[in-house]
Every structure is written in C-alpha cells, then in structure tokens.
Amino acid sequence: MTSIAPKTAASRTADSELDAIFAPIFDRIAVGAVAREVDRQLPYDEVGWLKEAKFGALRVPVEHGGYGVTVRQLFRLLIDLAAAESNLPQALRVHFVFVEDQLLAEQGSARDGWLRAVSTGTLVGNAITEPGVGAVDRYRTTLTPVGDAWVLNGVKSYSTGSLYADHILVAADRDGERLGVLVDANAEGVRQHDDWDGFGQRLTASGTTEFTDVAVADDRILGPGYGGAGPTYATSYLQLFQLAVLAGIAQRAERDVREWVSARTRTFTHASADLPREDPLVQQVIGRLSAASFAARASVLAVADVLDGVLDSGATDEKSLVAAELAAGQAQLGVIDTVLTATSQIFELGGASIVSERLRFDRHWRNARTISVHNPAIFKARSIGDHLLNGTDLPFAWSAGERKTPQEATR
C-alpha cells in the first residue's frame, strides 16, 4: 500500500478553525441528549448536522474536500463529541477506519472517488459481528456467484451506526475467504432493525441487519477486511474510539455534576459546610472527577500520537503496529478503571435527589459500563502481560463467537 504524504501544517485545518466549526454543533447536540435518552430517539437530525459540516471528512485531505487533520486532532474532537452525545463517536468508528483504508490505498480513481464522496457527507456503517459461531470458525454471511454477479446473504448483530449510514461495510465469507463487502444501506434485500437492548449506549443503532440476496458488484468487494492475519493499525484505532467515548463521558459527568452542586443549597446536619460547594468532602469528589476526565483525555491523545506516526508511515512497519496495539491496550485498562470509578463516585455528592430520573446522571455510568465491555479488559490485560513477560504476539483482529471443543474440531 502507498500512503499519502505526511500532512504539513499548511495542508491541515487548524484547531482554532475546527473548534469554530464544530463546538457550536456539539453544544447544539448536547442540548437534547437527556431527552433522546429518555425517549430512545435515534439522533438522525444530529447526524445530519455532522454530515453537513463534513465531520466524517476530518481525515480526508484538503485537496479532496476534507479537513486533512491529524489523528490527534480527530480524537480531540471525538472526545468533545462524546461529551455532547456519547453514542455518536461509537456509531462513526468504522466510517473512520474506512476513510483510513482509502488513505492507505494505492492512488487511483476508486480511492479518490470514495474520499470525495466522504467529503460531501457520505457515511459508512458496519455489519461485522454475527450471532452464534460468528467468525471464530468462518462467517456465516456468504458472498456467492449467481451468473455474472454476486449475492450476499446473512444476518449480522451489533451493526453499530449502520442506521445512520449511506453504505454498510459487511464482513462475509466467499468459499472460505474472508472479505469486506460494501453495500448501499438502502439496497434491495437489506433490512435493518433498532433492536439493541443494552442498558447503555442505547442510541448507537447497534441492532440486527439482514441481507437477503443483495446484489454486489465486483468493485464493491474490497479485499480481506476485518480478521485478516497479522498486525494491523485497525484494532488499536477502533479501540481508541471506545476510549474517546469514555473520556467524553467523564468530561460530561464532571461538568453536569459540578453545575448541579454549584446551584445546590440542600445539605446535611453533619456536613462540613453550610453549602455543598463549600464542603471540602464535596470539593474532593469534584477534584477527583476532574482528574479522571483529564487522565482519560490525556491517555487517548497519547495513543493518537502513536497512531499518527504509524499511519503517516504507511501502517506497514510491524514493530510500530505492535507498539500502537500495546499502547491502546494499556490505555484501555487505565481509562476503563478511571472512568467507571469516577461515574460511580458522582452519587456520593447528594442524597436521594441525585438519583432523580429527571437528571439521568445514571446514564454516565451505564454508558461507560457498556462501552467498556467491548474487547473485554480481562482478556486484554492477560494478553499484555503474556506479551511483556514471554514475548507472545498480541491478538489483533480477533473475533467473537462460539468455539468448537477439541472433540468437535476433530470430528
């Protein structure tokens, strides 16, 4: 693969300009966050505002109509977006991997065409994970020949963001070969369901997608896709989206609770001060929440710096890819513990009134707990320890599903 040349300061959009464009949009998105949570109202309008502002084209070069930002700039904005609406960065994460793949692809009309499409607002969702066996063995979603064409059949779960997308990146099997296939979200034979039933991150559109005899053209078969052998930038990059969401949740939780405490006059007979905001115990909790937000943000941006180097050099150096994967895994373990603790501590600041459904402060912990189960931390911690102690390869593009027992595998 041939990467684009590293971006110079002159060819990327400055942070101040990005903030001028996107901060007002994030503020507008944040206004309705609690109401959407209560009503389970998918943020279609809010995604539309981001599309109009070309948020999905942040990494697209300026000459192709995008902003040409660095990975660090991207994740700085993703944290702020997550603080406004934690569902949206998660819903967009495969879109940005698709963009990175185009940036790393050979120069040509197909690559340029997709980059320009993204710069006009095109978004890409995903349909990778499957129920049951999943891809632990091989994908049950199949791409098969019918005459001179191809058809796609299968069922996917956790199709995060696809209800907001123009195209869906589907992981499929073609006679034992793993492939990424791009289909139009409104193509005949595609059915999407908002049936994600998690107690957090409810508006990510992470439901079921069915593909029934969906026609696929040759130019929509993209190659190995997710699950290919060997080190890749994609797993650390995808993981960093989850961590950006956690950092944004911590940022919003600290802000929400600080504003609530600042206006509060009700306290307890045995409190240390007449007003909660003057109570040293309350101040201590706010200080810890602020530290958690700072630490989570700093961890995300530190990994983003590593990924900037990896992607600017073409994402082919194995040593650099391993370093990025290790950094993302180490950050994951630290950020999860930090943010889950912080979003639990907020309830120490008040009595029964702080658990009011009107406030919905519980959404911060629920969303953080939900995003943290992706790529479970217990397995990540063990793999990091094994790598550091024994030099064992880190797992990159692993899959979830039902594994065969040794007895079944030999039958």
Q: In angstroms, rounded to a whole number, what is the distance separating the alpha carbons of residues 54 and 10?
A: 19
Position 240, amino acid: L
Kindly compute the dihedral angle of the four CA atoms of residues 13, 14, 19, 21, in this order, to the nearest 10 degrees: -30
Position 342, amino acid: A
* Interval 54-63 mean pLDDT: 97
Are 194 and 163 within 8 A, CB to CB? yes
* Interval 272-293 mean pLDDT: 96
Per-residue pLDDT at 51 exceeds 60: yes
In the three-class reduction of DSSP (H, G, I as helix; E, B as strand; rest coil), residue 53 is classed as coil
Q: In angstroms, rounded to a whole number, what is the distance separating the alpha carbons of residues 330 and 111?
A: 33
Q: In angstroms, rounded to a whole number, what is the distance separating the alpha carbons of residues 111 and 119?
A: 13
The whole-number pLDDT of residue 308 equals 98
Per-residue pLDDT at 277 exceeds 80: yes
The whole-number pLDDT of residue 408 equals 58
Per-residue pLDDT at 333 exceeds 90: yes
Per-residue pLDDT at 180 exceeds 80: yes
In the three-class reduction of DSSP (H, G, I as helix; E, B as strand; rest coil), residue 179 is classed as strand
Are 225 and 180 within 8 A, CB to CB? yes
The whole-number pLDDT of residue 132 equals 84
Per-residue pLDDT at 4 exceeds 50: no
Pick the closest to residue 255 from 79, 88, 17 (CA basis): 79
Per-residue pLDDT at 5 exceeds 60: no
The whole-number pLDDT of residue 108 equals 86
The whole-number pLDDT of residue 161 equals 96
Are 383 and 392 within 8 A, CB to CB? yes
All residues at 6 or more sequence positions from 105 whose CB lies less than 8 Å from its CB, including other chains: 1, 2, 111
Per-residue pLDDT at 61 exceeds 50: yes
The whole-number pLDDT of residue 2 equals 44
Burial class (CB in 10 A: 0-12, 13-18, 19+), 375: middle
* Backbone φ, ψ for residue 68 (5° rounding): 65, 35
Per-residue pLDDT at 300 exceeds 60: yes
Per-residue pLDDT at 294 exceeds 70: yes
pLDDT band at 411 (very low <50, low <70, confident <90, very high): low
Pick the closest to residue 123 from 46, 33, 185, 64 (CA basis): 185
Tens of pLDDT, residues 131-168:
887 777 789 999 999 988 899 999 999 999 999 999 99
pLDDT band at 3 (very low <50, low <70, confident <90, very high): very low
Per-residue pLDDT at 7 exceeds 80: no
Q: pLDDT averaged over the chain? A: 93
Per-residue pLDDT at 247 exceeds 90: yes
Per-residue pLDDT at 1 exceeds 50: no
Instruction: Give the DSSP per-residue string, 80-98.
Output: HHHHH-THHHHHHHHHHHH
Are 169 and 177 within 8 A, CB to CB? no
Per-residue pLDDT at 215 exceeds 90: yes
The whole-number pLDDT of residue 399 equals 77
Per-residue pLDDT at 100 exceeds 70: yes
Tell me which of 378 and 229 has the higher pLDDT: 378
The whole-number pLDDT of residue 136 equals 79
């998690």: which residue's tokens? 198
B/e letters for 378-392, b = 16+ CB within 10 Å, e = fewer, are eebeebbeebeeeee
The whole-number pLDDT of residue 209 equals 98
In the three-class reduction of DSSP (H, G, I as helix; E, B as strand; rest coil), residue 102 is classed as helix
Per-residue pLDDT at 8 exceeds 70: no
pLDDT band at 26 (very low <50, low <70, confident <90, very high): very high
Q: In angstroms, rounded to a whole number, what is the distance separating the alpha carbons of residues 402 and 254?
A: 40
pLDDT band at 118 (very low <50, low <70, confident <90, very high): very high
Are 119 and 52 within 8 A, CB to CB? no
In the structure, how many helices (H) and strands (E) does the chain have? 12, 8
